[in-house]
Amino acid sequence: MDKPAARSRATAVAVPAAEKRPRGRPRKTVDERDDGNRRRDLITSAAKLFRKKGFDATSTRDIAAAVGMRSGSPFYHFKSKGALLYAVMEEGMRSAIERQAQALQRAEQETPDIRSQLRILIRNHFGVLLGPGSDFIPVMLYESRAITARQRASLAKLQNEYESVWVPVLQALHASGQLRGDVKLVRLLMFGAMNWSVQWFDAKKGASLDELSDAAMALFLGD
């Protein structure tokens, strides 16, 4: 055997093979693995700030500071402040739909009385507007000019889904003579009155959401 050739082959064997790069996407960092939670934190904090200061007066830096992020970090989760605003509104509507479904399910199990079902719907709606974590829907009510027409159309579908649950209840009350006037107009007037409560209601002044619901029942049904 030729000794130089043998040495060459031995040298070749001794050289470690180059490490292969793993295929696929690189491993996520801790921040990336926490993406869902951080996104949720951003939406919740943005809702509070948008409601308190208004969309235009709230900066991305304000939102980032509220969740302990650097000023540019929110753009990892949302393309723009407008996209974050839409996420706040969409989250608010989807949560309201879920809460209402749960409330109505309990109502149907506990009482078949149609008046009681309306009262539960009203009480739930005031909870959505004024209860704990209630920043989302007020933002949707008063900042919709800042989102796109397509986004407004998408939210309108969710809003219709939410309000459509009220229709059979109001129709039953109308058929029994307990509710006067055109059902569609009455529904619009009811929501207009209830939604305006976010402008003036203050729990610190003594009224509770239950008392507010009783007053609404008396107004709408003439109790």
Segments forming the whole domain that contains residue 144: 82-221
Question: pLDDT tens digits, residue range 188-200?
Answer: 999 999 999 999 9
Residue 63 lies in a domain: no
Q: What is the pLDDT of the chain when averaged over all its residues?
A: 84
Question: pLDDT tens digits, residue range 87-134?
Answer: 999 999 999 999 999 998 887 777 678 999 999 999 999 999 999 889
Provide the number of structural domains found in the chain.
1
Number of separate helices (H) and strands (E) present in the chain: 12, 0
Q: How far is CA 37 from CA 34, 42, 73, 83, in A?
A: 6, 9, 14, 17
pLDDT of residue 30: 43
Instruction: Give the pLDDT band of residue 8 (cuts 50, 70, 90).
Output: very low
CA pair distance 170, 32, nearest whole angstrom:
47
Residue 52 lies in a domain: no
pLDDT of residue 163: 95
Q: Which two tokens stand for residue 221?
A: 């049904």
**Mean pLDDT confidence for 27-46:** 69
Which residue has better confidence, 221 or 112? 221
Residue type, 38: R
Instruction: Give the pLDDT band of residue 16 (cuts 50, 70, 90).
Output: very low
CA pair distance 179, 187, nearest whole angstrom:
11
Residue 76 lies in a domain: no
Q: Residue 91: how many CA atoms within 13 Å on its side-chain side? A: 20
CATH number at residue 207: 1.10.357.10
Question: pLDDT tens digits, residue range 141-157?
Answer: 999 999 999 999 999 99
What does the chain come to in residues?
223
Which residue has better confidence, 19 or 69? 69
CA pair distance 210, 223, nearest whole angstrom:
15
The full DSSP string for 150-219 is HHHHHHHHHHHHHHHTHHHHHHHHHHTTSS-S-HHHHHHHHHHHHHHGGGT--GGGS--HHHHHHHHHHH
Residue 200 lies in a domain: yes
Question: pLDDT tens digits, residue range 72-90?
Answer: 787 788 889 999 999 999 9
Residue 209 lies in a domain: yes
Exposure string of 47-63, with b = 16+ CB inside 10 Å and e = fewer, is bbbbbeeebeebebeeb
CA pair distance 191, 137, nearest whole angstrom:
12
Residue 55 lies in a domain: no
Residue 12 lies in a domain: no
Question: pLDDT tens digits, residue range 205-217?
Answer: 878 999 999 999 9
Residue 35 lies in a domain: no
